[in-house]
Structure 1
């Protein structure tokens, strides 16, 4: 069987120096029918390894569940990597960041306030060991010393940015070994966090996107022997709603990659292909202002969101060719996508009959989302108030967006990023209804694991409001329209709309949401993700495998106001303005 070890200055594969040329490709952000295509395009760029995180919360959306089917079939993903003649790096966390909801940690894990986050705490560690054991059942047979593709397994992730609990890291490393992982173990941290984020015996790698020579020098001070490796070479960046689309000049990124390879270092491109935050999987940042991430995870990567090569792809390939042989062929250039259009119709208004979307539950005190089972992403909160004058409605904290209706009429919207928590009611006698949306859990920093929904209850003119009906919206079972009807002009949400989209073949599409407000989209039942007039992202990517030749069902849940109730598709993605 092959042997892969860490030598005095190099990685050694069967005793010979081996440079890892890796690219990050998250199987959970790519339709599974497209995995082989993306892996092949990495190989054709000159890479020899694919790196992936493993998202705990996607595999285990509820306690006792562990899903390894469809788009979560890690075993199949690793087999496809091997079939392509490539190697693999697996990074199971348990925390992954990745701009992914809650950094990959399951929200249900923190229902018990005694559970610690990313530290040596028995309840947390017990859950982590259970999760890692399930992952390693898949990974162990795929290790290189068992004739599989896996070269390295990472322990935790960028831990130095969060803490320095060496006992915790040691427990993870020991469990990893006990579970049968025999390949070398690594950690990754930014250069100034290397000491806190690792242990002796774990091979340290660094994460950065510029000043490669200086960062490698710092890494060598913390990792005196063994190969130097940039475990995350940031060749692009992510976007959040309300900002610009981030890009990194291909020439600048290629020059930094050249400096890395000239220094003899191994590298993992973050990202080679970003993919998409399908459904409701995007994370958020909060460093004083809450910033939810957009649906696209294009990342300005060498392979764009739809899997097409970019100028950065060819620039990187040229750099790699100076140091290693690359395949003769390159992927074909991007082609324009079909541009069908159709009208949205058959509105189902959420407030007309909420019971079609779920079941009311009574709670004396207003619960957070995390106190509900299953934990919703959208919920309606209802109570009656009485008084003889206008009043001020206040919430402890809104996480993350709350639209208030009084006797069915919209009153206003409170947004977490604006630090909103109160508004005036026109009168204080009637039915109060609040639609609350979780826009993505924080994925980085001390706010990981925080609860969603309304936190700290509600009050009217300073008096607590009790006696609430709560309806979690079941987004997996959206109601069908009772009657068929057209929509002639602008329409206000919350409202469910449908359309039939004709397609000549199963091919990628780009849905233009420029005339819409804020909401969610499904295509033939597949959750494309969120849209928002704020931008910068304007199109939603529809992967070809979910498009059927002939008729296709498009479902839109508009939460705001839709100015143009039409579904139009455009030939290229529109990810928004840049700083340039």
Structure 2
């Protein structure tokens, strides 16, 4: 493969002028059986490059565990890109933002109460070096300098929006070099942060979604020589629970892209194809109010969540054709979809009846955080005995992020971080009643100083002003549901798993719709699709076709509150991402 060089104000590949026309495609948000399809559609739209972040928290879920297999087989993804004739921009972090849980930083870092993330703290740097030392060796032969498709590697991500520690960025750049990365390095920042996020001797790129000329002018003012490049051209946006589905007019976005490309600058679309934050992997923002991100990462991208071309795909393809050669092929057709209305979930397994199969309680005087329990995602069930009867006031220093409160198994209320709630009045039927708080990690903060986001119950819990002690903390990561004991569908109180079956002739993509359900999670054949919540905007969950199989299939819904009496779900051909801003 040709090698990328920076010569004056231009990129060259083996001495020939080259413009990067790239798009974001996160392998970890796409079923691996779909990687080749998405890459082919990237090339057909006119892209010559794809970029991807790398999520540290999935690749190294525990300090002594490193994964590079199945849906995390990054070398295989890079090889597929090369087979499609695409170059690759690699963005390994260690921090990635990406509206991803914790910005990609593994939660076990936060088990240390004093660690300073994204800094020169030796504890953080040692962890980063250990991560890179395992991630990079399998990728070195895929660098362009060694015949591979990887043209360039990014240093951290939008560091100027976080801090201005030049020594930290220089340290990360030197670490990449020391571990064998010999292709060009680059940074990316928003226009106002370029000075804070720069690394001397490293190419700076700028991120924006509009006012292209102004953004590129800011980059040129900061970097008088070198290629102009928009590292992230925001052609869409993400959604949060309780908001609206954000869309951007395809024509207006195409005009902005045209303005950008008319300057001769390079570009990477964010996103070309967003995909899905499957399972518990969505992130959150906290700018004085905590706001968790939805499961879908459709992002109003040119290729939608199911990998089908949109109006924006066609509009961008026509713009790119003005500046580069676009394959002479018709627009890809939408993929076939599977439908099955009215699937009855005929079996139930109450969560509280199945606790021994889901997690082991840990006793302590005060509640333990998820990080203290060695847990990444999911729920923690906290239990204590109420020493008095009658009306009481329960106060919690910090709920991270949503606590359902039960007394003797009966629900008595909810405390939500998003609403800045810390107290609830309840009645204890008797001295010795059991208090339970089921706390959901709704996504660690992925942007800004809030990334030090520990989960569970933090600090003290007080009952009528006095500290309540003598707790058990039971981690419920829900890695597997195999040991659940399902019975008939008699009415249940409290969080419950509901299971049903449906038949498939030919597996294909589909969308789970849950009318009448309230909040929880969905699995199909053991594959964790993600969260649903009646507050919206998202009202369906994407099911990749490869998750289904010919014959009988299984769907399981964890309902945290209450479902309609019929307990049915639909598999439909179209998603419902909610009302838009327009």
CA separation in 2, counterparts of 1:30 and 1:353?
Answer: 32
**Cα 1:531–1:388, aligned 2, differ >3 Å: closer, same or farther?**
closer
- 1:14 paired with 2:3, answer no
SS in 2 for 1:221: helix
**Matched residue of 2:371: which SS?**
helix
In the other structure, the counterpart of 1:174 is 174
- Report if the CA contact (8 A) 1:74-1:138 is conserved: no
Distance 1:493 1:513 in 2: 18
The match for 2:122 is 122
CA distance in 1, matches of 2:101, 2:486: 37
Indicate whether 1:269 and 2:269 are aligned: yes
Deviation at 1:365, TM superposition (A): 1.6
Looking at structure 2, the residues matched to 397 and 231 of structure 1 have their Cα atoms a distance apart, in angstroms, of: 37
Once the two structures are TM-superposed, the CA of residue 474 in structure 1 deviates from its matched residue by 4.2
Paired residue secondary structure (2:449): coil
Q: CA deviation at 1:127?
A: 0.9
TM-aligned CA distance change 1:375 to 1:79, over 3 Å = closer
Counting only pairs closer than 5 Å after superposition, residues 20-419 of structure 1 correspond to structure 2 as 20-334=20-334, 337-341=337-341, 342-375=343-376, 377-419=378-420
Mapped contact 2:411–2:494 kept (Cα < 8 A)? no
Deviation at 1:484, TM superposition (A): 3.9
Deviations 1:434-476 (A, max 9, x none): 1111000000010102210011121100100110122212412
- 1:477 is displaced (CA, Å) by 2.6
Gaps of 5+ in 2: none
The separation in 2 between residues aligned to 1:335 and 1:27, in whole angstroms, is 19
Q: TM-score of the superposition, structure 1-length normalised?
A: 0.97
Residue 517 of structure 2 is matched in structure 1 by 516
Decide whether the 8 Å contact of 1:492 with 1:562 is kept in 2: no
Give the superposition deviation at 1:353.
Answer: 4.4
Q: Determine if contact 1:273/1:298 at 8 Å carries over to the other structure.
A: yes
How has the CA–CA distance of structure 1 residues 273 and 376 changed in structure 2, closer, same or farther, with 3 Å as cutoff? closer
Pair 1:170–1:434, CA change in 2 (3 A): same
Residues 367 and 457, structure 1, Cα contact 8 Å, conserved in 2: no
Partners in 2 of 1:14 and 1:266 — Cα distance? 17
Alpha carbons 2:56, 2:131 under 8 Å: kept: yes
User: Which residues in structure 2 correspond to 1:445-464 (within 5 Å)?
Assistant: 445-464=448-467
Quick one: distance in 2 between partners of 1:464 and 1:288? 27
Match of 1:526 in 2: 527
Name structure 1 gaps, 5 residues minimum. Answer: none
Q: Distance in 2 between matches of 1:28 and 1:132?
A: 18
Q: Hey, what's the Cα distance between the residues in 2 that align with 1:330 and 1:285?
A: 40
Shift of 1:482: 3.9
Distance 1:150 1:557 in 2: 41
Find out whether 1:574 has 2:581 as its counterpart. Answer: no
Matches within 5 A, 1:408-557: 408-427=409-428, 429=431, 430-480=433-483, 482=485, 484-486=487-489, 492-557=493-558
What secondary structure sits across from 1:167 in the alignment? helix
Q: Offset at 1:139?
A: 2.2
C-alpha distance in 1, partners of 2:388/2:152? 65
Deviates more, 1:357-366 or 1:49-58: 357-366
- What secondary structure is seen at the aligned counterpart in 1 of 2:360? coil
Q: Which moved more, 1:22-31 or 1:493-502?
A: 493-502
Q: Deviations over 1:66-103 (max 9, x none)?
A: 10000000000000000001100000110000000000
Structure 1 residue 135: Cα displacement: 2.1
Provide the secondary structure at the position in 2 that maps to 1:247: coil
Q: Using the alignment, how far apart are the partners of 2:476 and 2:444 within structure 1?
A: 18
Q: How many residues align?
A: 578
* C-alpha RMSD of matched pairs (Å): 1.4
